[in-house]
Amino acid sequence: MNKKLKIGLFGFGCVGQGLYHVLNNSTGFKADIVKIAVIDKTKTRRVESTLITYNKWEILDNSEIDVVVELIDDADEAFLIVSEALKRGKHVVTANKKMLAQHLEELYHLQNEYNVSLLYEASACGSIPIIRTLEEYFDNEELKKVTGIFNGTTNYILTRTLAENLSYQEALSQAQLKGFAESNPVNDVEGFDPKFKAIIIALHAFGLIIKPNEVLNIGITTLHESDIKYANEKGYKIKLTPHIHRIAHNKVSVFVVPSFIKSHNHLYNVDNEFNGVIVEGDFSGEQFFQGKGAGSYPTGAAVLSDISALSHGYKYEFKKFAQNQIPKFTNDVILEVYFRYNSPEDLRHLQFEEITEKYNGNDFHYVIGKIHLEQLFEYREYILTNHLFISLLNERVELSNDGNRKTVFKKELQIF
Protein backbone atom coordinates (compact mmCIF):
# COMPACT_ATOMS: atom_id res chain seq x y z
CA MET A 1 0.00 0.00 0.00
CA ASN A 2 2.38 2.72 1.29
CA LYS A 3 0.58 5.57 -0.48
CA LYS A 4 -0.63 9.02 0.38
CA LEU A 5 -4.00 8.51 1.97
CA LYS A 6 -7.08 10.64 1.48
CA ILE A 7 -9.02 11.03 4.73
CA GLY A 8 -12.62 11.80 5.57
CA LEU A 9 -12.77 13.01 9.17
CA PHE A 10 -15.87 12.83 11.35
CA GLY A 11 -15.73 15.21 14.31
CA PHE A 12 -13.55 18.24 14.93
CA GLY A 13 -13.54 18.46 18.71
CA CYS A 14 -10.59 18.01 21.02
CA VAL A 15 -9.21 14.86 19.38
CA GLY A 16 -10.10 15.89 15.84
CA GLN A 17 -8.23 19.17 16.23
CA GLY A 18 -5.35 17.30 17.83
CA LEU A 19 -5.15 14.97 14.83
CA TYR A 20 -5.28 17.92 12.42
CA HIS A 21 -2.36 19.52 14.28
CA VAL A 22 -0.14 16.43 14.53
CA LEU A 23 -0.88 15.43 10.94
CA ASN A 24 0.16 18.85 9.65
CA ASN A 25 3.27 18.93 11.83
CA SER A 26 4.50 15.35 11.40
CA THR A 27 7.58 14.49 9.36
CA GLY A 28 8.05 11.49 7.11
CA PHE A 29 4.34 10.82 6.65
CA LYS A 30 1.74 12.71 4.69
CA ALA A 31 -1.98 12.33 4.24
CA ASP A 32 -4.66 14.70 3.05
CA ILE A 33 -7.86 15.46 4.94
CA VAL A 34 -10.37 15.84 2.13
CA LYS A 35 -13.48 16.59 4.19
CA ILE A 36 -14.43 17.12 7.83
CA ALA A 37 -18.01 16.27 8.81
CA VAL A 38 -19.46 18.21 11.75
CA ILE A 39 -22.92 18.94 13.18
CA ASP A 40 -22.89 22.48 14.63
CA LYS A 41 -23.33 25.00 11.81
CA THR A 42 -22.86 27.99 14.14
CA LYS A 43 -19.41 27.08 15.45
CA THR A 44 -16.32 28.87 14.10
CA ARG A 45 -13.49 26.52 13.10
CA ARG A 46 -9.87 27.31 12.27
CA VAL A 47 -9.82 25.42 8.98
CA GLU A 48 -10.78 26.30 5.44
CA SER A 49 -14.56 26.38 5.06
CA THR A 50 -14.27 24.20 1.93
CA LEU A 51 -13.14 21.31 4.17
CA ILE A 52 -16.31 21.40 6.26
CA THR A 53 -19.46 19.43 5.47
CA TYR A 54 -22.64 18.81 7.44
CA ASN A 55 -23.61 15.77 5.37
CA LYS A 56 -22.00 12.45 6.35
CA TRP A 57 -22.77 10.92 2.95
CA GLU A 58 -20.51 13.48 1.29
CA ILE A 59 -17.65 11.52 2.87
CA LEU A 60 -19.11 8.00 2.84
CA ASP A 61 -20.08 8.17 -0.85
CA ASN A 62 -16.84 9.84 -1.97
CA SER A 63 -14.85 7.19 -3.88
CA GLU A 64 -11.62 9.21 -3.60
CA ILE A 65 -11.64 8.92 0.22
CA ASP A 66 -10.04 5.64 1.22
CA VAL A 67 -9.81 6.19 5.01
CA VAL A 68 -12.58 7.30 7.35
CA VAL A 69 -11.48 8.63 10.74
CA GLU A 70 -14.34 8.64 13.24
CA LEU A 71 -13.92 10.92 16.27
CA ILE A 72 -17.43 11.78 17.47
CA ASP A 73 -19.11 11.24 20.86
CA ASP A 74 -22.37 9.61 19.79
CA ALA A 75 -21.78 5.83 19.89
CA ASP A 76 -24.89 4.95 17.86
CA GLU A 77 -24.11 7.42 15.09
CA ALA A 78 -20.46 6.33 15.19
CA PHE A 79 -21.47 2.71 14.56
CA LEU A 80 -23.59 3.76 11.59
CA ILE A 81 -20.68 5.75 10.13
CA VAL A 82 -18.08 3.03 10.74
CA SER A 83 -20.20 0.14 9.47
CA GLU A 84 -21.24 2.06 6.33
CA ALA A 85 -17.61 3.01 5.65
CA LEU A 86 -16.48 -0.62 5.97
CA LYS A 87 -19.27 -1.77 3.64
CA ARG A 88 -18.03 0.76 1.06
CA GLY A 89 -14.52 -0.71 1.18
CA LYS A 90 -13.01 2.14 3.18
CA HIS A 91 -10.51 1.56 5.96
CA VAL A 92 -11.53 3.03 9.30
CA VAL A 93 -9.71 4.51 12.28
CA THR A 94 -11.80 5.24 15.38
CA ALA A 95 -11.31 6.30 18.99
CA ASN A 96 -14.87 5.49 20.10
CA LYS A 97 -14.43 2.93 22.87
CA LYS A 98 -18.16 2.72 23.73
CA MET A 99 -19.14 2.01 20.13
CA LEU A 100 -16.41 -0.62 19.81
CA ALA A 101 -17.26 -2.38 23.08
CA GLN A 102 -20.94 -2.57 22.12
CA HIS A 103 -20.32 -3.84 18.57
CA LEU A 104 -17.00 -5.74 18.60
CA GLU A 105 -18.36 -8.93 17.07
CA GLU A 106 -20.27 -7.18 14.28
CA LEU A 107 -17.29 -5.00 13.41
CA TYR A 108 -14.93 -7.98 13.43
CA HIS A 109 -17.08 -9.74 10.83
CA LEU A 110 -17.60 -6.60 8.73
CA GLN A 111 -13.90 -5.92 8.23
CA ASN A 112 -13.35 -9.56 7.26
CA GLU A 113 -16.32 -9.63 4.89
CA TYR A 114 -15.27 -6.47 3.06
CA ASN A 115 -11.50 -7.06 3.35
CA VAL A 116 -10.73 -3.72 4.97
CA SER A 117 -8.95 -2.67 8.11
CA LEU A 118 -10.46 -1.22 11.29
CA LEU A 119 -7.85 0.24 13.68
CA TYR A 120 -8.54 1.78 17.09
CA GLU A 121 -5.37 2.28 19.12
CA ALA A 122 -6.66 5.64 20.35
CA SER A 123 -9.72 4.00 21.93
CA ALA A 124 -7.73 2.59 24.86
CA CYS A 125 -5.23 4.38 27.11
CA GLY A 126 -4.46 7.43 25.00
CA SER A 127 -0.87 7.55 23.82
CA ILE A 128 0.09 4.11 25.21
CA PRO A 129 0.29 1.66 22.25
CA ILE A 130 -1.27 -1.19 24.19
CA ILE A 131 -3.44 -2.75 21.46
CA ARG A 132 -0.61 -2.94 18.93
CA THR A 133 1.66 -4.33 21.65
CA LEU A 134 -0.81 -7.08 22.50
CA GLU A 135 -1.35 -7.83 18.81
CA GLU A 136 2.31 -7.98 17.83
CA TYR A 137 4.47 -8.69 20.89
CA PHE A 138 2.18 -10.92 22.94
CA ASP A 139 0.43 -12.59 20.00
CA ASN A 140 1.68 -16.11 20.78
CA GLU A 141 2.20 -15.93 24.54
CA GLU A 142 -0.44 -16.78 27.08
CA LEU A 143 -1.06 -13.86 29.40
CA LYS A 144 -1.85 -13.93 33.09
CA LYS A 145 -3.33 -10.46 33.34
CA VAL A 146 -3.73 -6.96 31.94
CA THR A 147 -4.56 -4.30 34.48
CA GLY A 148 -3.86 -0.65 35.16
CA ILE A 149 -5.25 2.86 35.08
CA PHE A 150 -7.23 3.36 31.88
CA ASN A 151 -8.98 6.67 32.65
CA GLY A 152 -7.15 9.97 33.11
CA THR A 153 -10.15 11.86 34.51
CA THR A 154 -10.69 9.62 37.53
CA ASN A 155 -6.95 9.32 38.09
CA TYR A 156 -6.65 13.10 38.25
CA ILE A 157 -9.54 13.30 40.73
CA LEU A 158 -8.15 10.53 42.94
CA THR A 159 -4.65 12.04 42.85
CA ARG A 160 -5.98 15.39 44.06
CA THR A 161 -8.03 13.84 46.90
CA LEU A 162 -4.88 12.43 48.48
CA ALA A 163 -2.33 15.07 47.46
CA GLU A 164 -4.42 18.07 48.54
CA ASN A 165 -6.75 16.38 51.03
CA LEU A 166 -9.74 17.33 48.89
CA SER A 167 -13.15 15.70 49.01
CA TYR A 168 -14.36 13.83 45.95
CA GLN A 169 -16.66 16.72 44.98
CA GLU A 170 -13.87 19.31 45.40
CA ALA A 171 -11.47 17.26 43.29
CA LEU A 172 -14.12 16.70 40.63
CA SER A 173 -14.81 20.45 40.44
CA GLN A 174 -11.09 21.10 40.02
CA ALA A 175 -10.88 18.50 37.24
CA GLN A 176 -13.81 20.15 35.46
CA LEU A 177 -12.22 23.61 35.73
CA LYS A 178 -8.99 22.26 34.20
CA GLY A 179 -10.86 20.53 31.40
CA PHE A 180 -10.00 16.98 32.50
CA ALA A 181 -13.63 16.14 33.33
CA GLU A 182 -16.81 16.80 31.38
CA SER A 183 -19.67 18.83 32.86
CA ASN A 184 -21.49 15.48 33.04
CA PRO A 185 -18.67 13.11 34.09
CA VAL A 186 -20.78 9.96 34.63
CA ASN A 187 -19.06 7.95 31.89
CA ASP A 188 -15.70 8.41 33.61
CA VAL A 189 -16.46 8.52 37.34
CA GLU A 190 -18.85 5.56 37.32
CA GLY A 191 -16.30 3.42 35.53
CA PHE A 192 -18.01 2.95 32.16
CA ASP A 193 -15.12 4.39 30.15
CA PRO A 194 -12.46 2.06 31.60
CA LYS A 195 -14.91 -0.86 31.27
CA PHE A 196 -15.29 -0.26 27.54
CA LYS A 197 -11.50 -0.10 27.21
CA ALA A 198 -11.07 -3.31 29.21
CA ILE A 199 -13.51 -5.10 26.90
CA ILE A 200 -11.51 -3.99 23.84
CA ILE A 201 -8.23 -5.04 25.43
CA ALA A 202 -9.68 -8.43 26.48
CA LEU A 203 -10.23 -9.26 22.80
CA HIS A 204 -6.60 -8.67 21.90
CA ALA A 205 -5.15 -10.14 25.11
CA PHE A 206 -7.30 -13.26 25.41
CA GLY A 207 -9.45 -13.53 22.27
CA LEU A 208 -12.66 -12.79 24.16
CA ILE A 209 -15.66 -10.87 22.88
CA ILE A 210 -17.65 -9.75 25.94
CA LYS A 211 -20.83 -7.72 26.16
CA PRO A 212 -20.66 -4.56 28.34
CA ASN A 213 -23.59 -5.68 30.48
CA GLU A 214 -21.61 -8.76 31.51
CA VAL A 215 -18.80 -6.71 33.10
CA LEU A 216 -19.05 -5.11 36.54
CA ASN A 217 -18.08 -1.46 36.84
CA ILE A 218 -18.12 0.35 40.17
CA GLY A 219 -16.68 3.86 40.06
CA ILE A 220 -15.60 6.49 42.57
CA THR A 221 -18.79 8.53 43.05
CA THR A 222 -19.33 7.19 46.59
CA LEU A 223 -15.78 7.94 47.75
CA HIS A 224 -15.96 9.56 51.21
CA GLU A 225 -13.49 11.47 53.39
CA SER A 226 -13.37 8.40 55.66
CA ASP A 227 -12.10 6.24 52.78
CA ILE A 228 -9.45 8.84 51.92
CA LYS A 229 -8.39 8.97 55.59
CA TYR A 230 -8.14 5.19 55.73
CA ALA A 231 -6.00 5.09 52.57
CA ASN A 232 -3.69 7.82 53.89
CA GLU A 233 -3.20 6.12 57.24
CA LYS A 234 -2.46 2.78 55.62
CA GLY A 235 -0.08 4.23 53.03
CA TYR A 236 -2.31 3.46 50.07
CA LYS A 237 -3.22 5.44 46.99
CA ILE A 238 -6.66 4.99 45.50
CA LYS A 239 -6.92 4.17 41.79
CA LEU A 240 -9.82 3.13 39.59
CA THR A 241 -8.53 -0.08 38.03
CA PRO A 242 -9.85 -2.38 35.32
CA HIS A 243 -8.75 -6.00 35.83
CA ILE A 244 -8.49 -8.61 33.08
CA HIS A 245 -7.25 -11.79 34.78
CA ARG A 246 -6.81 -15.32 33.55
CA ILE A 247 -8.10 -17.65 36.25
CA ALA A 248 -6.62 -21.14 36.13
CA HIS A 249 -6.02 -22.00 32.46
CA ASN A 250 -9.32 -21.62 30.70
CA LYS A 251 -11.23 -18.77 32.36
CA VAL A 252 -10.87 -14.99 32.30
CA SER A 253 -12.48 -12.46 34.64
CA VAL A 254 -12.99 -8.79 33.73
CA PHE A 255 -14.20 -6.07 36.11
CA VAL A 256 -13.61 -2.42 37.08
CA VAL A 257 -13.46 -1.30 40.72
CA PRO A 258 -11.47 1.16 42.86
CA SER A 259 -8.28 -0.29 44.33
CA PHE A 260 -5.99 0.51 47.23
CA ILE A 261 -2.50 0.53 45.71
CA LYS A 262 0.71 -0.01 47.70
CA SER A 263 4.02 1.73 46.99
CA HIS A 264 5.63 -1.34 45.36
CA ASN A 265 2.95 -1.39 42.65
CA HIS A 266 3.89 0.22 39.32
CA LEU A 267 0.62 2.16 39.39
CA TYR A 268 1.41 3.88 42.68
CA ASN A 269 3.30 6.72 40.99
CA VAL A 270 0.99 7.06 37.99
CA ASP A 271 -0.74 10.29 38.95
CA ASN A 272 -2.97 13.04 37.57
CA GLU A 273 -4.17 12.50 33.98
CA PHE A 274 -1.61 9.78 33.19
CA ASN A 275 -2.48 6.16 32.44
CA GLY A 276 -0.52 3.03 33.23
CA VAL A 277 -0.88 -0.53 31.95
CA ILE A 278 0.59 -3.69 33.45
CA VAL A 279 0.81 -6.80 31.25
CA GLU A 280 2.00 -10.09 32.70
CA GLY A 281 2.87 -13.04 30.47
CA ASP A 282 3.62 -16.64 31.32
CA PHE A 283 7.18 -16.35 30.01
CA SER A 284 7.97 -12.65 29.61
CA GLY A 285 6.88 -11.73 33.13
CA GLU A 286 5.53 -8.31 34.00
CA GLN A 287 5.74 -5.34 31.64
CA PHE A 288 4.72 -1.78 32.53
CA PHE A 289 3.65 1.01 30.19
CA GLN A 290 2.93 4.62 31.13
CA GLY A 291 1.77 7.63 29.16
CA LYS A 292 -0.77 10.40 28.87
CA GLY A 293 -4.21 8.88 28.89
CA ALA A 294 -6.12 11.81 27.48
CA GLY A 295 -5.70 15.11 25.72
CA SER A 296 -5.83 16.51 22.25
CA TYR A 297 -2.27 15.82 21.09
CA PRO A 298 -1.60 12.43 22.76
CA THR A 299 -4.85 10.95 21.45
CA GLY A 300 -4.35 12.64 18.09
CA ALA A 301 -0.90 11.04 17.92
CA ALA A 302 -2.44 7.61 18.55
CA VAL A 303 -4.93 8.20 15.72
CA LEU A 304 -2.10 9.32 13.43
CA SER A 305 -0.16 6.15 14.29
CA ASP A 306 -3.08 4.07 13.04
CA ILE A 307 -3.37 6.13 9.85
CA SER A 308 0.35 5.65 9.24
CA ALA A 309 -0.01 1.90 9.79
CA LEU A 310 -2.80 1.83 7.21
CA SER A 311 -0.47 3.37 4.64
CA HIS A 312 1.63 0.20 5.00
CA GLY A 313 -1.35 -2.15 4.71
CA TYR A 314 -1.55 -2.99 8.42
CA LYS A 315 -4.58 -4.71 9.92
CA TYR A 316 -5.28 -6.54 13.17
CA GLU A 317 -4.97 -10.30 12.81
CA PHE A 318 -6.85 -11.10 16.05
CA LYS A 319 -4.55 -14.08 16.61
CA LYS A 320 -5.88 -14.87 20.08
CA PHE A 321 -9.47 -14.84 18.77
CA ALA A 322 -8.49 -17.22 15.95
CA GLN A 323 -7.07 -19.82 18.35
CA ASN A 324 -8.99 -23.04 18.93
CA GLN A 325 -9.02 -22.82 22.73
CA ILE A 326 -10.34 -19.39 23.68
CA PRO A 327 -10.82 -19.12 27.46
CA LYS A 328 -14.29 -18.57 28.85
CA PHE A 329 -15.40 -15.33 30.47
CA THR A 330 -16.48 -15.70 34.10
CA ASN A 331 -17.75 -13.63 37.01
CA ASP A 332 -17.52 -16.68 39.27
CA VAL A 333 -14.55 -15.37 41.26
CA ILE A 334 -13.80 -14.13 44.77
CA LEU A 335 -12.10 -10.81 45.60
CA GLU A 336 -10.59 -9.43 48.79
CA VAL A 337 -12.05 -5.97 49.43
CA TYR A 338 -12.43 -3.08 51.82
CA PHE A 339 -16.13 -2.31 52.27
CA ARG A 340 -17.27 0.88 54.01
CA TYR A 341 -20.89 0.68 55.05
CA ASN A 342 -23.57 2.60 56.95
CA SER A 343 -25.45 0.02 59.03
CA PRO A 344 -25.55 -3.72 59.85
CA GLU A 345 -28.31 -4.00 57.25
CA ASP A 346 -25.74 -3.33 54.53
CA LEU A 347 -23.71 -6.35 55.66
CA ARG A 348 -26.80 -8.51 55.56
CA HIS A 349 -27.30 -7.55 51.94
CA LEU A 350 -23.73 -8.29 50.88
CA GLN A 351 -22.81 -11.75 52.11
CA PHE A 352 -19.07 -12.05 52.57
CA GLU A 353 -17.37 -15.40 52.15
CA GLU A 354 -14.98 -14.44 54.92
CA ILE A 355 -14.42 -11.34 57.06
CA THR A 356 -10.91 -10.87 58.42
CA GLU A 357 -11.25 -7.41 59.91
CA LYS A 358 -14.14 -5.31 61.16
CA TYR A 359 -14.23 -1.75 62.43
CA ASN A 360 -17.14 0.11 64.01
CA GLY A 361 -16.46 3.77 64.71
CA ASN A 362 -18.50 6.85 65.45
CA ASP A 363 -18.03 8.26 61.96
CA PHE A 364 -17.87 5.19 59.73
CA HIS A 365 -17.75 1.40 59.64
CA TYR A 366 -15.85 -0.99 57.43
CA VAL A 367 -14.99 -4.63 56.99
CA ILE A 368 -12.18 -6.31 55.11
CA GLY A 369 -12.95 -9.68 53.65
CA LYS A 370 -13.55 -11.90 50.67
CA ILE A 371 -16.66 -11.53 48.59
CA HIS A 372 -18.02 -13.11 45.44
CA LEU A 373 -17.84 -10.85 42.37
CA GLU A 374 -21.41 -11.83 41.52
CA GLN A 375 -22.51 -10.39 44.89
CA LEU A 376 -21.07 -7.03 43.89
CA PHE A 377 -22.76 -7.33 40.52
CA GLU A 378 -26.12 -8.13 42.13
CA TYR A 379 -25.93 -5.27 44.63
CA ARG A 380 -24.18 -2.65 42.50
CA GLU A 381 -27.17 -0.30 42.54
CA TYR A 382 -27.66 -0.82 46.27
CA ILE A 383 -24.00 0.15 46.86
CA LEU A 384 -24.30 3.30 44.77
CA THR A 385 -27.72 4.36 46.03
CA ASN A 386 -26.69 4.03 49.69
CA HIS A 387 -23.30 5.70 49.12
CA LEU A 388 -21.28 2.67 50.20
CA PHE A 389 -17.70 2.22 49.01
CA ILE A 390 -15.88 -0.88 47.78
CA SER A 391 -12.15 -1.03 47.07
CA LEU A 392 -9.99 -3.96 46.03
CA LEU A 393 -7.21 -4.69 48.52
CA ASN A 394 -4.99 -6.84 46.33
CA GLU A 395 -4.93 -8.21 42.81
CA ARG A 396 -5.41 -11.84 43.81
CA VAL A 397 -8.52 -13.13 42.05
CA GLU A 398 -9.65 -16.59 43.15
CA LEU A 399 -11.93 -18.93 41.26
CA SER A 400 -14.98 -19.77 43.33
CA ASN A 401 -15.05 -23.46 44.29
CA ASP A 402 -18.70 -23.74 45.23
CA GLY A 403 -21.88 -21.75 45.72
CA ASN A 404 -21.95 -21.93 49.50
CA ARG A 405 -21.79 -18.45 51.01
CA LYS A 406 -20.77 -18.76 54.63
CA THR A 407 -19.62 -15.67 56.51
CA VAL A 408 -16.64 -16.43 58.75
CA PHE A 409 -15.34 -13.89 61.26
CA LYS A 410 -11.63 -14.59 61.79
CA LYS A 411 -10.92 -11.56 63.91
CA GLU A 412 -12.29 -8.19 64.82
CA LEU A 413 -9.73 -5.44 65.20
CA GLN A 414 -10.51 -2.05 66.71
CA ILE A 415 -8.12 0.38 65.05
CA PHE A 416 -7.70 4.16 64.64
**pLDDT tens sequence across 60-90:** 999 999 999 999 999 999 999 999 999 999 9
Per-residue pLDDT, 283: 94
**Rounded-to-integer distance, Cα 270 and Cα 290, Å:** 8
Q: What is the residue type of 364?
A: F
Query: Given this chain, do its domains 5-123 and 333-399 carry the same CATH topology?
Result: no
Give the pLDDT band of residue 179 (cuts 50, 70, 90). confident
CATH of 5-123, one of 3.40.50.150, 3.40.50.720, 3.30.540.10, 3.40.50.2000: 3.40.50.720
Predicted TM-score (pTM) of the model is: 0.93
What region does 301 belong to: left with phi over 0, alpha with psi -120 to 50, or beta?
alpha
Per-residue pLDDT, 414: 34
**Rounded-to-integer distance, Cα 307 and Cα 119, Å:** 8
**Rounded-to-integer distance, Cα 163 and Cα 160, Å:** 5
The answer to whether residue 241 scores a pLDDT higher than 50 is: yes
**pLDDT tens sequence across 4-62:** 899 999 999 888 998 988 888 887 777 889 999 999 998 888 889 899 999 999 999 99
Q: Where are the domains of the chain?
A: 5-123, 138-290+324-329, 333-399
**pLDDT tens sequence across 29-41:** 778 899 999 999 9
Could you tell me the fold of the domain covering 333-399? Alpha-Beta Plaits (3.30.70)
- Superfamily holding 138-290+324-329: Dihydrodipicolinate Reductase; domain 2 (3.30.360.10)
Catalytic residue among 145, 197, 239, 358: 197
Give the pLDDT band of residue 403 (cuts 50, 70, 90). very low
Nearest Cα residue to 204 out of 249, 244, 151 = 244
For residue 4, indicate whether it is catalytic. no
**pLDDT tens sequence across 369-384:** 999 999 999 999 999 9
